[in-house]
């Protein structure tokens, strides 16, 4: 079995060499099955994990999530990227502490959402979202892990495409290695997102 450091190096190299498919196992068995199919990396799914345990997405406590990530990371010899929801905290320093614990499970990377658990105000303000990603990025850099910054505004109907692209740029400048905006639906919007965060490409 490869070490966490080796898995992180492989995961970062995958991102540097182009596009790849990364499916979502929900338990150790599905992770091992996907490994046999030849995928180069896997990503956890917070909703799949929750549903498999009879709960709704965003209802799984941090300790259960950490146990799940440890199980996935030890089940396969592939890099695991964690769907780490909003970092299980609001304050940047608490997000950083939780990211450190998540990386201690052996995962190769993780994503941090800009979506709060406040139904009345589902997105963090840009300044807060940026500081949360900045704090997570500082921890990720210490270990060579890949950090994904997620902009959820389209998904929750709180931002248009232009506002979402601005948020992605801000998260990239805060240190996110990769960016994800669920809800981009057209080829033109996806191309605009790529141009916004990687203008030299």
Helix 126-143 with 4-16: angle, nearest 10 deg = 120
Q: Provide the mean pLDDT of the chain.
A: 95
Name the nearest CA neighbour of 143 among 174, 172, 110, 188: 110
What would the mean pLDDT of 55-77 be, rounded to a whole number? 95
* Structural domains of the chain ordered from first start: 4-197 (3.20.20.60)
The predicted pLDDT at position 201 comes to 44
Q: Which residues 6+ apart lie within 8 Å of 109 measured at CB?
A: 8, 11, 79, 80, 81, 82, 140, 145, 146, 147, 148, 177, 178
CA distance 20 to 196: 21
pLDDT band at 198 (very low <50, low <70, confident <90, very high): confident
Q: Are the beta carbons of 25 and 31 closer than 8 angstroms?
A: yes
Q: Are the beta carbons of 147 and 186 closer than 8 angstroms?
A: no
pTM for the predicted model, two decimal places: 0.94
Element (H or E) spanning 136, and its range? helix 126-143
Task: Please write the tens of the pLDDT for every residue from 95-143.
Answer: 999 999 999 999 999 999 999 988 889 999 999 999 999 999 999 999 9
155: helix, strand or coil: coil
The predicted pLDDT at position 18 comes to 85
């Amino acid at each position: 079995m490869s070490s966490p450091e080796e898995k992180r190096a492989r995961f970062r190299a995958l991102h540097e060499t182009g596009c790849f498919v990364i499916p979502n196992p929900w338990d150790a068995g599905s992770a091992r099955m996907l490994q046999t199919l030849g995928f180069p990396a896997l990503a956890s799914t917070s909703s799949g994990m929750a549903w498999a345990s009879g709960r709704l997405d965003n209802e799984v406590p941090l300790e259960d999530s950490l146990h799940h990530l440890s199980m996935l990371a030890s089940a396969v010899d592939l890099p695991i990227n964690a769907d780490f929801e909003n970092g299980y905290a609001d304050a940047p320093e608490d997000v950083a502490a939780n990211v450190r614990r998540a990386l201690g499970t052996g995962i190769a990377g993780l994503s941090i959402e800009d979506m709060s658990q406040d139904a009345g105000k589902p997105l963090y303000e840009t300044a807060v979202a940026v500081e949360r990603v900045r704090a997570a990025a500082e921890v990720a850099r210490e270990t060579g892990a890949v950090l994904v910054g997620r902009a959820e505004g389209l998904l929750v109907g709180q931002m248009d495409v232009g506002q979402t692209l601005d948020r992605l740029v801000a998260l990239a400048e805060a240190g996110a290695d990769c960016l994800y905006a669920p809800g981009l639906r057209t080829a033109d919007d996806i191309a605009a997102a790529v141009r916004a965060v990687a203008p030299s490409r």
